[in-house]
Amino acid sequence: MLETMDKLRFDCYRLGVVKEHLDEMEPVLRNSDMLSFDIAALQHSAAPSNYLSPNGLNGEQACTLTRFAGMSPNISSVGIYGYSVENDTQQLTATQIAQMLWYFIDGRWQGKHESLLAERDAFFEFNTAFAEIDTVFLQSKKTGRWWMQLPDKSYIPCSYQDYILASSNEVPERWLRAQERS
């Protein structure tokens, strides 16, 4: 399955990576068109109706991810799947879902405050080169979020870590994956 996802140029992040580097998921979710969240991704303690595994994301991590998705200006569909009311003791899973939706809505509100990339005075601009490729990084003065320029002069969401890698003459993986898709 992972090979198929890679061949189709989808980004795939394993649970351990997501949990360890949760902030790195913000640029991944920033340009999302849709969010599909399966309750089975949550640990049993955060979603008691999930009998598949005791491991997974905790409730706070799930809320953070849905907030990141809410900040996407492109999102048009949100679905939370796998909820079983019959297995939901004390409605804790329902409460978790409600909190995730609240964080999604909070993300929508936060995302509305981001400047458009065309409004260059709303961004700090950093010029750098990696692997003999000149590029520009933008950081929002309002939200602190980052974008990096591709060779076709378009911008993709990125993180401060991508900027640090590029400044060290290393090619950020996010840049490589975007190039593979173009």
* CB hemisphere CA count around 80 (13 angstroms): 23
The structure tokens 């969010």 sit at 35
Per-residue model confidence as pLDDT tens digits over 21-67: 999 999 999 988 999 999 999 998 888 887 777 889 999 999 999 99
* CATH of residue 48: 3.40.800.10
Are 130 and 62 in the same domain? no
pLDDT digits (tens, 9 = 90+) for 129-173: 998 899 999 999 999 999 999 999 999 999 999 999 999 999 999
Longest dimension (CA), the chain: 59
User: Confidence class of residue 12 from pLDDT cuts 50, 70 and 90?
Assistant: confident
> How many domains is the chain partitioned into structurally?
2
- Domain end, chosen from 91, 111, 131, is at 111
Residue 138: count of CB within 10 angstroms of its CB = 21
Cα separation, 182 vs 180, in Å, equals 6
Both tokens of residue 116? 């458009």
Phi and psi at 13, nearest 5°, equal -125, 125
Q: Is residue 105 located within the same domain as residue 166?
A: no
Task: Indicate if 75 and 143 belong to the same structural domain.
Answer: no
Higher-pLDDT residue of 19, 111: 19
Give the SS3 label for residue 130.
strand
CB atoms within 10 A of CB 144: 9
How much is the average pLDDT of 9-13? 79
The pLDDT-based confidence of 6 (bands split at 50, 70, 90) is confident
- Structural domain ending residue among the three candidates 111, 138, 167: 111
Which residues constitute the domain of residue 126?
Answer: 120-181
DSSP state of 68: H
Take residue 69 and report the two structure tokens written for it.
């998705």
Same domain? 64 vs 125 = no
Q: Residue 170: what residue type?
A: E
Say what the pTM is.
Answer: 0.89
Q: In the sheet where 155-158 sits, what is the strand order? A: 123-130, 133-140, 146-149, 155-158
